[in-house]
C-alpha cells in the first residue's frame, strides 16, 4: 500500500458512518435503518463479552461447539439484551460461501445458536415474521442487509469473495421479490463492516473470478493490480454492484466506513489475526 495506490483509487460511492452505541455491550448501526421504528439491527464488535484469549471478548462463533460454548451463549445473551432481541430466537446459517438463501419463520428460531443448525447449505435468510432475528457472521467477509419498508420484510446474507463473485447480494434481492413481492426500487440495503480494498490483497485466481463475473468497466473499480500476480480487491464495490444489478437504487445503499482489518482490535478480522485462531462478529436484523 502506498500513496500512489491511494490516489489511483477513486471514490465511486458514498460511504456512511456507522453509529457507535455504548452500553453493556457496544454495537454499531446504520442511520438509514435506525429510521424505522418497527425494525431492529446491529453489528457486534469485540467489546463487552466474556470469551477469553484470542477469541476475546465478544466471540459469537458457535461453529466449534464444546470449548467455551457457555461463554459464547453468554455473549449472545448480552448483545441480545443490549440491542433488544431474544437470543433464543436467533437463526444462523453455516455459511458455506454459496448463494443459497432460506425463508425462515418462528419454527426456525434458535437454529445454529441454541440447537443444532439445520441451515447447513445456506448463506442468507429472509423473513417477514416478527421476533425472529437473522444473524450473519463476519470477520472480513461482508455482511449484507436488505429491508422492505413497505411490506416489513427483511433479509441478510454473508458475502465473502466467492459468494460476492457469484452474486449473493443480487440473489438476496431476488428472494425478497419472489417471497414477499418486494419492489427492488423500494428496498433499503446495507453493506456492513468488512475488509477494505487497501487491506485485501488477492491472487490471480480470485481476480479472474471477478473478471468473469463483471464487465471490464465494473472490474476496473474493484480490482487494482499490485504486480507479481497480486491485486487489491474492493469487495464493497462488488457488493454495491450486486445490489444495483438487482434493481436497488444507488441512493438506497449504505456502505460501511469501517474496515475489520484496519480495526482488528474493535471487530474480528481473519486477515488481521494473521493465521491465529479468532472469533466472529455478527450482524443482527429483526422485526420488532
* Contact residues: Zn ion, CB under 5 A: 196, 199, 259, 261-262
The four Cα atoms 32, 37, 40, 41 give a dihedral, to 10 degrees, of 10
What is the dihedral angle through the alpha carbons of 236, 239, 244, 247, rounded to the nearest 10 degrees? -150
Output the smallest distance, CB 92 to Zn ion, in A: 25
Cell of 130: 416478527
The Cα 201–Cα 203 span in angstroms is 7
d(CA 60, CA 74): 9
Q: Residue 190 or 261: which CB sits closer to Zn ion?
A: 261
The conformation of residue 87, written as its DSSP 8-state character, comes to G
Question: Least separation, in Å, of the C-beta of 234 and Zn ion?
Answer: 11
Contact 276, 136 (CB under 8 A): no
Nearer to Zn ion, 1 or 65 (CB): 1
248 vs 261 by CB, closer to Zn ion: 261
Q: Which residue lies nearer to Zn ion by CB, 188 or 259? A: 259
Strand ranges (E), the chain: 19-21, 27-29, 39-44, 90-92, 101-103, 124-127, 133-138, 142-148, 153-159, 188-191, 201-203, 223-227, 230-233, 253-255, 281-287
Q: How many CA atoms lie within 13 A of 172 on its CB side?
A: 37
Contact indicator for 260, 139 with CB cutoff of 8 Å: yes
Return the residue matching grid coordinates 445503499.
Answer: 253
Amino acid at each position: 500500500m502506498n500513496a500512489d495506490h491511494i490516489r489511483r483509487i477513486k471514490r465511486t460511492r458514498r460511504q456512511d458512518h456507522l453509529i457507535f452505541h455504548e452500553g453493556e455491550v457496544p454495537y454499531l448501526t446504520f442511520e438509514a435503518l435506525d429510521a424505522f421504528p418497527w425494525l431492529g439491527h446491529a453489528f457486534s464488535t469485540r467489546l463487552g463479552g466474556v470469551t477469553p484469549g484470542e477469541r476475546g471478548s465478544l466471540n459469537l462463533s458457535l461453529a466449534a461447539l464444546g470449548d467455551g460454548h457457555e461463554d459464547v451463549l453468554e455473549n449472545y445473551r448480552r448483545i441480545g439484551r443490549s440491542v433488544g432481541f431474544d437470543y433464543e430466537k436467533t437463526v444462523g446459517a453455516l455459511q458455506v460461501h454459496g448463494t443459497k438463501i432460506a425463508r425462515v419463520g418462528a419454527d426456525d428460531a434458535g437454529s445454529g445458536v441454541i440447537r443444532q443448525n439445520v441451515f447447513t447449505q445456506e448463506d442468507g435468510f429472509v423473513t417477514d415474521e416478527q421476533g425472529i432475528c437473522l444473524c450473519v457472521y463476519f470477520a472480513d467477509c461482508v455482511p449484507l442487509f436488505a429491508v422492505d419498508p413497505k411490506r416489513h420484510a427483511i433479509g441478510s446474507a454473508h458475502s465473502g469473495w466467492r459468494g460476492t463473485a457469484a452474486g449473493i447480494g443480487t440473489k438476496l434481492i431476488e428472494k425478497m421479490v419472489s417471497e414477499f413481492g418486494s419492489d427492488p426500487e423500494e428496498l433499503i440495503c446495507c453493506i456492513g463492516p468488512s475488509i477494505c480494498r487497501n487491506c485485501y490483497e488477492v491472487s490471480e485466481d480470485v481476480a479472474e473470478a471477478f473478471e468473469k463475473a463483471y464487465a471490464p468497466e465494473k472490474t476496473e473499480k474493484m480490482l487494482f493490480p499490485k504486480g507479481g500476480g497480486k491485486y487489491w480487491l474492493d469487495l464493497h464495490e462488488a457488493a454495491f454492484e450486486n445490489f444495483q444489478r438487482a434493481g436497488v437504487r444507488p441512493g438506497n445503499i449504505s456502505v460501511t466506513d469501517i474496515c475489520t482489518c484496519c480495526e482488528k482490535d474493535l471487530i474480528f478480522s481473519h486477515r488481521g489475526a494473521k493465521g491465529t485462531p479468532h472469533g466472529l462478529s455478527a450482524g443482527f436484523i429483526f422485526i420488532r
